[in-house]
Amino acid sequence: MLRKVLQRITQVIKSVKMTDISPSSAAVQQDDKGNKRPLNEELSEQQKKQKTESGEQPKKLQKRKIAMLIGYNGKGYHGIQINKEVNTIENEILKALVKTQCIPQEHADVPQKMSFQRACRTDKGVSAAQNLLSLKVIIDIENLLEKINSYLPEQIRVFGYRRTTGGFDCKNYCDNRTYMYICPTYAFAPLENIVTDEYRMTDDVVEHVNKMLARFIGTHRFHNYTSKIDAKEARAKRYIISFTCGKPFIRDGCEFCVITVRGQSFMLHHIRKMIGITIAIVRGNCGEDVIDKSWKPERVDIPKAPGQGLCLEQPHYDNYNKKYGTDGIHASLDWVEEQDEINKFKEEYIYSDIMKTEKDEKIMMEWLGNLQHHVFDVVDDKEERASRYAKQNYLKKCKEDTDIVITPDTGFNFKSKRSNFDNSENTTTKEDNSDGHSESEVKIKSETIEDNSDKHLDSGVEMKSESEVKINSENIEDKDLTNEVEVGQDIKSVKVQS
């Protein structure tokens, strides 16, 4: 009896639920696809706009997964990655896609909605001859490439696109990447040489450079060649496939060489630091043993070469091409048909601009003048950060002072005064303007002090037994200075041209 009562109650409850949920047959109609919807459901504003005069909705254009090949000159942009606070390469490309009606504005605001990804991330000022984007867009648009490029600046170009598999990700599917660094050859001039545009690189120097670059080939822990990564972390281990320096060539009276590196992946400042330490070794600022120290867990001071000459040459998709490029459905990502346009763009907007900027602004020469401030040895993280902060502020003040000229052979040349800050750790400065002259007193403590008669000093330097150096300098204009340098019992006279 109880069982029958329970069954009856269950049936009543089910009938009540079905009545509440399902609309009546009179309140339901079918749409064009045969799907039912309530009559009282109002059409959205977008659906109303899409209604034609005949009352039919236009056919919806399908989004397709594609790989889009782009090239750009990174000068004036804060890298490629999307950033709403500053101007970036991807910001410009997304704006162009919206104007071309390839994507809606909401996809530009939230790129994850169209599975957006980049193959390689480039930093501020770094260019790319070929970089790849993967995303879902509407491609059924006449003259699509021409329309996209018409909304882009001249230094950014879309070369072409290919239909890909639905799960294609240009970053994860990338096997390895090739970068190029265009470098003036005077960066490798020995320290004893006066660096000018007239320097020419010999075959022996090219061989020495290639020998040092070969030290990085293989799998190593590159924690010292980036920031905020510990030696114990798995991501610190990277694989370099090849690293070579090509034959030098002359452009507008200045000699350049192209350094090419191919690796599985690279970290922030990774390539620039490998090239920076190579330049320091070949010039004679440090020994080859610094590379051996950099593989160890301790933090080592490694200089970072300027980003001006760095350029992403291309990402490689050998495994994808082998698996899908010959299936008859998907195209291979080798971009053979676009090579002529790519080479023309590289020469006109990237390579020529890099070499012209270097020749006009002497970015590498200025960097060489600051190279002497690195210790090329194990340093404490806190000490390294404090030292870097002090150097940046000091260099900033030096650039603002018109009486200071930065040269790569001697570092800082003061027209009317000079202080030697090599290997300095602690400095204190006092100024006295009561008599109309500026007098600064700097105490420099150093573990080792070398007696180098080739260095030019504009101030009297007294070297004590405790390796404490006291430098007194006065602001004297339009005079040659003759200084007496006392080292133990030896006294030398050093003449400095103001």
* Alpha carbon distances (Å) from 117 to 67, 82, 163, 314, 363: 10, 11, 15, 16, 33
- Which CB contacts under 8 angstroms, 24+ apart, belong to 87-92? 89/122, 89/156, 90/118, 90/133, 92/152, 92/153, 92/156
DSSP for 368-380, written as a single string: HHHGGG---SB--
Confirm if 239 and 225 have CB atoms less than 8 A apart.
Answer: no
Question: Of residues 31, 32, 109, 123, which has the active-site annotation?
Answer: 123
DSSP state at residue 183? E
Query: 127-138 and 310-316: which strand pairing?
Result: parallel
d(CA 386, CA 406): 23
Confirm if 238 and 220 have CB atoms less than 8 A apart.
Answer: yes
Query: 481-487 and 460-463: which strand pairing?
Result: parallel
Residues 6 or more apart whose CB falls under 8 angstroms from that of 61 comprise: 138, 140
| 401 belongs to the catalytic site | no
The residues with which 496 forms a beta bridge, in sequence order, are: 481
DSSP state at residue 188? G
Please choose, from the candidates 273, 278, 349, 279, the residue with its C-alpha nearest in 3D space to the C-alpha of residue 75: 349
- Reduced to 3 states (helix: H, G, I; strand: E, B; else coil), residue 218 is strand
Active-site residue numbers? 123
